[in-house]
Structure 1
Amino acid sequence: MDWYQTLFELIDMRSFSNLWFWIVLAVVWSTTSHYVLGVPFDMVLRAKRHEGQYEADLEDLVRINTNRLLYIAQMSGLWLAGFACFFLTMLVLLGFVYGNEFAQALTLLGVPLSLVGLLSLSTARLIREEDARGERLRKRLMRHRLYTQIIGMISIFVTALWGMYQNLNVGPFGG
């Protein structure tokens, strides 16, 4: 059997009928909601329970990640926004105008993740402006995580609906 054919049977480009796509979707949203501005959420909970050194570690890590994120946005934010808009527009056109299922799957992953990226920038800016520490910082991070989880739930729901539609439309019963 040809290795090229074997590879494409293993990695089916019809994304919504492929188990690997759904595993990737679950891992992406699980990871995204666990790391709040690059900080593991268990660190936020530990700082809430024990304070002291855990609180100081949390504040240091948030400060480092916030400064890094805002620096990148300030130095190359317009270029990154331009490339992201170009890439997402290309995926939307390929997926929903030309009917490429792989591009549809990447669009349904990329658009919500870009919203989370914008939310992260906004949260980082607010943390720096407020000079948030202690309880205020933890509340800001928890709110950010809640909004990320809401975006993730809506994204997974829409992706599941679109995937079911595609599987019924293209599958053994559809055209």
Structure 2
Amino acid sequence: MRSFSNLWYWIALAVLWSTASHYVLGVPYDMAHKAAHEGGEKMKDVESMIRINIGRILNIAEVSGLVMIGLVSGILTILFVLGAFYGVELAQAIFLMALPMSILGVMSIKTAMKIRENNPTGLALISILKRHRFFTQSIGMFSIFITAMWGMYQNIATGPLGG
């Protein structure tokens, strides 16, 4: 299963990071951007969506956080071992998508906790969303770069027929 030479893998990677950077804590970024410029009812809508989404995020983290940490750690460990020690390219490809997304998940929980503690409104809330989006995009760019370098290495090392 050649993942790094498959166009669908690269499309999936692009869609993954595009979606992750567009939906900041479950709120479309264009909606937050409009709310920052226009205020009023749009700002109230963003504030309501954020309150709902951070409630969901934190409820999931509180109710099943330990189980999720165990499952995600186990899956990441299995993918790493299969990819690094057994050379399974599919495991390498999934690991290079899953590890940064798990980091983003932890970052989202921390941001949600910060919003719940400080209860910001208006432009202060938009500022937190902008900072979260910036770090999401930074992680995404770094992840795509590392994945592209590893993918090129794999394609060169294994050749066109995978042998």
TM-score, scaled to structure 2: 0.97
Measure the CA separation in 2 of the matches of 1:143 and 1:19.
32
Q: CA deviation at 1:49?
A: 1.2
Q: One-letter code of the match for 1:40?
A: P
Please list, as runs of the form range in 1=range in 2, the aligned pairs for 1:96-111 lying within 5 A after superposition.
96-111=84-99
Query: Which of 4, 12, 15 is the matching residue for 1:27?
Result: 15
Corresponding pairs, count: 163
Measure the CA separation in 1 of the matches of 2:159 and 2:120.
52
Structure 2 counterpart of 1:167: 155
Q: One-letter code of the match for 2:3?
A: S
Q: Which runs of 5+ in 1 are unaligned?
A: 1-12
Whether 1:135 aligns to 2:119 is: no
Larger Rg: 1
Taking a change above 3 Å as real, the CA distance of residues 69 and 173 of structure 1, as seen in their structure-2 partners, is closer
The 8 Å contact of residues 20 and 136 in structure 2, kept in 1 or not, is answered as yes
Please list, as runs of the form range in 1=range in 2, the aligned pairs for 1:64-79 lying within 5 A after superposition.
64-79=52-67
Measure the CA separation in 2 of the matches of 1:115 and 1:132.
24
Structure 2 counterpart of 1:49: 37
Measure the CA separation in 1 of the matches of 2:107 and 2:48.
21
RMSD of aligned alpha carbons: 1.2
The 8 Å contact of residues 2 and 162 in structure 2, kept in 1 or not, is answered as no
Whether 1:61 aligns to 2:49 is: yes
Measure the CA separation in 1 of the matches of 2:18 and 2:162.
32
Q: CA deviation at 1:86?
A: 0.4
Q: CA deviation at 1:62?
A: 0.1
The 8 Å contact of residues 168 and 174 in structure 1, kept in 2 or not, is answered as no
Structure 2 counterpart of 1:115: 103
Q: CA deviation at 1:114?
A: 0.4
Measure the CA separation in 1 of the matches of 2:162 and 2:94.
23
The 8 Å contact of residues 116 and 148 in structure 1, kept in 2 or not, is answered as yes
Taking a change above 3 Å as real, the CA distance of residues 63 and 146 of structure 1, as seen in their structure-2 partners, is same
Q: CA deviation at 1:132?
A: 1.1
Q: One-letter code of the match for 2:145?
A: F
- Taking only the aligned residue pairs, the percentage that are identical comes to 54
Query: Which of 124, 128, 132 is the matching residue for 1:144?
Result: 132
What secondary structure sits across from 2:4 in the alignment? helix
Measure the CA separation in 2 of the matches of 1:38 and 1:174.
40
The runs of at least 4 consecutive aligned structure 1 residues that moved more than 2 Å come to 172-175
